[in-house]
Amino acid sequence: MRGNRSAVAAVAILTTALSAACSGGAEKPSSEAASRSAAPAGPVKLTYWTWVPNMDKIAAVWNQAHPDIQVTVSKQAGGDDAAAKFLTAAKAGNPPDLVQAEYQMLPSFVAADAVADLKAETAQAKSEFGEGVWGLVTLGTDAVYAVPQDSGPMMLYYRQDLFEKYGIEVPKTWDEYAEAARTVHKKDPKVFLGTFSSKDPGWFAGLSQQAGAQWWSISGDAWKVAVNDEATTKVASYWGGLVKEGVIDGMPYFTPEWNKALNDGKLLTWPSAVWGPGVLSSNAPKAKGKWAIAPLPQWNAGENHSGFWGGSSTAVAAKSPNKAAAAQFATWLNTDPQALGLLIKEGAVYPASAKGAALMTEAPDYFSNQPDFWKQAADIGATARGFTFGPNVNVTYNAYKDAFDKAVAAKSDFAAAVGTMQDTTVADMQKSGFSLAQ
C-alpha cells in the first residue's frame, strides 16, 4: 500500500523538521561565534538556491575572480514548492545564504522575517533598475529586500501560420480576441484560440494588472485588500463567458495535454510572459518558427498596457552569517555586464536591469521568424504595470486554484471565484492579526 510509504515519508519529514528546529535553536549562538572567528581565517562560503539553469557555471566565474567569497549553487525546483521550502528552512534555522525569490513571494518572506534588508549594500545598484521593478523588491517601504533578477512582462504569443490559415487578424482588443475565438472554433471544433488555466494564478494576476487591478495596497499602517476589484472581476467575467460559450478551452497550462495541443496546432495563442520562448521551444518543438509575439489585446482600443507574470529576484536570508558578502554577490550577479551576459546566454534569463535588457539583441532561435523579437519585447515591457503583492500571496494563489478549478469544471460564474479569493485572503489576514483597512 502506498499509504504506508507516505506515512514513513511523513514521519521522516517531521523528524527532519524537528531535528532541524532543535539544532537551529541550539546551534545558533555557536554558529554565529564560529563565523565571527572564522571570517579572517578562510574564504566566506555561501550557498545559493536557484532554479536558473547553468547557474553553477555563472557562479564558477564569480568564484574564480573572488577567492575570498565562494558561492555554491544548489539547484531547486521552481514555483510554490521552492518558496515553501525556503520558508520552512528559514523557520528551522538553516536557510541558504542566498535564494531566488519570485516577486510575489517576497512579501511572504519579509513577513516571516526570512530575508534581510539590503538597503545599505544595494545603494549603488538602485540606479540600474526601472522604478516599477525596484518597487517590487522594496514593497513600498524604505527597505530593500532583494536585488531584481528577471522580469516577466506579458505579451500575446500567436501562431502566425494558423492565423493566416483561419483568416484571422492579430486581435488588438479583447473584444476582437473573443470574436477570433468564436471564428476559429467554428471553423474547426477541435481547435481553440486559447485556454483558461485554473492552475496559474500568476498568469491571472498579470492579466488583472493589465486591466488596472490593485490587489494589495498599504494605507497608513494597514493593508487594503481588493482582489475582487472592478478590473479583476471584469477580467474573470470575460474569460468565464468564453469558457461557458465553449470557444475557449479550460485545460491547465504546462500539462502533457497542453504541450501536445501547442505542438499539434490545436491552440493558436498563449498570453504569456517574456520567458515564453524557453517553454515553447522545449514543449512544442514541432512549431518552431511559426510563433510570433504581439502586444496583449487591450481592454479599450488605443490603450497600451501590459502586466507581469513571474520574474524573480535574489534575496539574502536574514539568518545568513555573511550578509554583506551575499549582498555583494547578488549585486554582481544582477548588474555586472559579464554576469548579465552569462545570465542571458547560459541561464536564458530576461534580465530586469536596463543594462541587461540592452544586451538582448539576437532573437531566440525558436523565433528566428521574428528577428526584432527583443525590440518588440522591450517595447511591450515598457508598458507593463504591476502591483504591490501582499504578505499572504500563497493563500490567495491557492484559493485561485481551488476556486477556478471548480468554476472551470462547472463552467460557472468566474466572478464568484474572484469573490472566494478575496474572502479567503481577508479571512487569513484577519486570523493572523494583520491590520486591515476597509
Partner 1 sequence: MRSPEKGARAHRAGAVPYLFLAPAMALFALFMALPIGYTIYLSLRRTKVSGLGLGKGARTEVFAGLANYAAAVGDGELWAGWLRVLGYGALVLVLMLGLALVFALMLDAAHVRLARLTRISIFLPYAVPGVAATLMWGFLYLPSLSPFGEHPFLSAGLVTFSMANVAVWGGTGFNMLVLYTNLRAVPREYYEAARIDGASELDIALRIKIPILVPSIILTTVFSVIATVQVFTEPTTLRPLTNTISSTWSPLMKVYRDAFVTGDLYSAAATSMVIAGISLVLSFGFLRIVKNRAFGEG
In the three-class reduction of DSSP (H, G, I as helix; E, B as strand; rest coil), residue 147 is classed as strand
Q: What is the DSSP string of 122-136?
A: TTTGGGGS-HHHHHH
Per-residue cell: 260: 501536445
Q: Does 110 interact with partner 1 (rule: CB under 8 A)? A: yes
Cα 152 from Cα 381, distance rounded (Å): 8
Torsion on CA atoms 35, 41, 42, 43, rounded to nearest 10: 70
Q: Does 32 interact with partner 1 (rule: CB under 8 A)? A: no
Per-residue cell: 425: 485572503
> Which residue in 130, 136, 119, 56 sits closest to 355, CA to CA?
130
Cα 247 from Cα 258, distance rounded (Å): 16
Choices 54-62, 121-129, 214-222, 230-238 (CB under 8 A): range interacting with partner 1: 214-222
Size of interface with partner 1, in residues (CB under 8 A)? 59
Per-residue cell: 29: 549562538
Q: Does 416 interact with partner 1 (rule: CB under 8 A)? A: no
Q: How many CB atoms lie within 10 A of CB 3?
A: 7
Q: Does 311 interact with partner 1 (rule: CB under 8 A)? A: no
Which amino acid, one-letter code, is at 318? A
**CB of residue 102 to partner 1, shortest distance in Å:** 14
Give residues 390-409 in contact with partner 1 (rule: CB under 8 A). Answer: 391-392, 394-395, 398, 401-402, 404-406, 408-409
Q: Does 108 interact with partner 1 (rule: CB under 8 A)? A: yes
Q: Apex CA 155: angle with CA 251 and CA 383, to 5°? A: 140
Cα 302 from Cα 291, distance rounded (Å): 24
Nearer to partner 1, 63 or 195 (CB): 195
Choices 136-144, 151-159, 231-239, 288-296 (CB under 8 A): range interacting with partner 1: 136-144
Cα separation of the two ends of the chain = 51
Q: Does 77 interact with partner 1 (rule: CB under 8 A)? A: no
Q: Does 1 interact with partner 1 (rule: CB under 8 A)? A: yes
**CB of residue 85 to partner 1, shortest distance in Å:** 8
Q: Which of 38, 39, 61, 111 binds partner 1 (CB under 8 A)?
A: 111
Give residues 247-306 in contact with partner 1 (rule: CB under 8 A). Answer: 250, 252, 254-257, 260-261
Nearer to partner 1, 4 or 64 (CB): 4
Nearer to partner 1, 33 or 409 (CB): 409
- Three-state SS letters, 227-279: CCCHHHHHHHHHHHHHHHHCCCECCCCCCHHHHHHHHCCCECEEEEECCHHHH
Q: Does 131 interact with partner 1 (rule: CB under 8 A)? A: no
Contact string 216-235 vs partner 1 (x = CB under 8 A): --x--xxx------------
**CB of residue 20 to partner 1, shortest distance in Å:** 11
**CB of residue 113 to partner 1, shortest distance in Å:** 6
Give residues 157-186 in contact with partner 1 (rule: CB under 8 A). Answer: none
Strand partners, 159: 291
CB-based burial of residue 235 (10 Å sphere; 0-12 exposed, 13-18 middle, 19+ buried)? buried
Which amino acid, one-letter code, is at 361? T
Q: Which residues bind partner 1 (CB under 8 A)?
A: 1-7, 10-11, 14-15, 18, 21, 80-81, 84, 87-88, 91, 107-108, 110-113, 139, 141, 143, 198-199, 218, 221-223, 250, 252, 254-257, 260-261, 391-392, 394-395, 398, 401-402, 404-406, 408-409, 428, 432-435
